[in-house]
Amino acid sequence: MQPTRREWLRSGIGMAMAPTMMIPKAGAYSLAEIESKLAQGAGIEGVVKADLPTPSLMLDLDAFEANVARMAAHAEQAGLDLRPHAKTHKCSEVAKRQLGAGALGVCAATIREGEALAAAGVGGLLLTSELVGPNKIHRLIRLTRKRPDTMSVVDHPLHAEQLNEAAGAAGVKLNAMVDIDPVGRRTGIAPGPRAVALAETIDRLPHLNLKGVHGYSGASSHVKGFENRKAHSEKYMTPVLESFAAMRKKGMPAEIMSGASTGTYNIDSELDGMTEMQVGSYALMDVDYSMIGGKSGETYGDFQPALFVLATVISKNHADIATVDAGLKAFATDRDFGPRVARPAGLEYAFRGDEHGQLELAGAAREVKLGDKIELVVPHCDPNANLYDRMYCVRGERVRQVWKIDARGHV
């Protein structure tokens, strides 16, 4: 059989016959070509990492699947439900894998995320930010009509009344969770009598169903050192759990106690009264989480980095540095550290502007050449996923699938 043009180029025959042409060894699919292959239902057979446009977002399927399986096993062993937070990935394909591994639904941070996930067939939604104002309330009603098991959080009696009034006018019942603030002073009512009184108000309102308590201690998630983190989370989650217990003691239909993060999954799961975990980052991971310290040492290795930015060395004019095509716009920059180079080993990355990053080559495990592909662990996975339209899913060198990040952005 005649080799295809691409096979011919890859084999190097093309290089031998045309020595003056700079033809890359791998194929050179443009984004349009990759999209057209997908649109034709042809899959992406034959596409390898080296074919991908850069900078692009890459999901390592082996690492991702191992993370998803590990958290699912932990939840099962702890006897807890799992409703992973989709704010991390904003991708319905990822959510479907989490459901496939036993999750009973996913959380969403915005109404936009909820709508995109529902449109892709993902249910069991818990919206973890207060949906206030006519636009969000009416969209919540629409979402609930489509997915009657949708829940959202409430932290004020006035908001409860507004939801109740809109639900009554629309002829639907909205499912409400009392949002209790463990410590962050971001959203949530204080634990104790005020939280219990809010639950009573919700329970009394005819167009709302009281479902339980949402208590997310974000301030605990990245406390460094396992014992410190444990002490922090226990201190701030205990009053939340006591409020939940008080609601149940009064006979209210509060069944769900949802909380926990990737940093506290094996801490909060031990707390009396928790019923489900809304962990998010564990599926993708990032530099931030790698530094919090694990149960058995300084490195937090419970979950592996699965999300990478793929970049290309576009300038190599100095012995000690090289420049890649991934800069400030390719990474979320909300942390005071940047990405970490995963492959090749031994390189240090520094931001060098909007479109450029600099690699320090002193510790490089091998020579770095013009055109080399560099894989970088992202500093903070949630806002990083939000920057890209799609993630390229890889196994080894092969690109296996392309998943749309369909819930990204704000609308």
Ligand X SMILES: Cc1ncc(COP(=O)(O)O)c(C=O)c1O
Contact residues toward ligand X (CB under 6 A) are 85, 87-88, 128, 216, 218, 221, 261-263, 278-282
CB of 186 to ligand X, least distance (A): 9
Buried b or exposed e, range 74-104, using 16+ CB within 10 angstroms: bbeebebbbbbbbbbbbbbbbbbbbbebebe
3-class secondary-structure state, position 409:
coil
Q: Give the nearer residue to ligand X in terms of CB position, either 87 or 229.
A: 87
CB of 281 to ligand X, least distance (A): 3
Q: Which of 140, 129, 131, 71 is nearest to 103 (CA)?
A: 71
Q: Which of 153, 160, 162 is nearest to 212 (CA)?
A: 153
Q: Give the nearer residue to ligand X in terms of CB position, either 282 or 331.
A: 282
Residue nearest to ligand X (CB): 280
Q: Give the nearer residue to ligand X in terms of CB position, either 263 or 338.
A: 263
Q: Give the nearer residue to ligand X in terms of CB position, either 174 or 279.
A: 279
CB of 77 to ligand X, least distance (A): 18
Strand partners, 392: 58, 402
Q: Give the nearer residue to ligand X in terms of CB position, either 29 or 216.
A: 216
Q: Give the nearer residue to ligand X in terms of CB position, either 221 or 312.
A: 221
How far apart CA 91 and CA 72 sit, in angstroms, is: 18
Asked if residues 345 and 361 have their Cβ atoms less than 8 Å apart, the reply is no
Q: Give the nearer residue to ligand X in terms of CB position, either 88 or 175.
A: 88
Asked if residues 156 and 145 have their Cβ atoms less than 8 Å apart, the reply is no
CB of 72 to ligand X, least distance (A): 14
CB of 258 to ligand X, least distance (A): 8
CB of 287 to ligand X, least distance (A): 14
DSSP characters over 140-201? HHHHHHH-TT-EEEE-SHHHHHHHHHHHHHHT--EEEEEEB-SS-SSS-BPTTHHHHHHHHH
The CA dihedral of 300, 305, 310, 315, to the nearest 10 degrees, is 20
CB of 128 to ligand X, least distance (A): 4
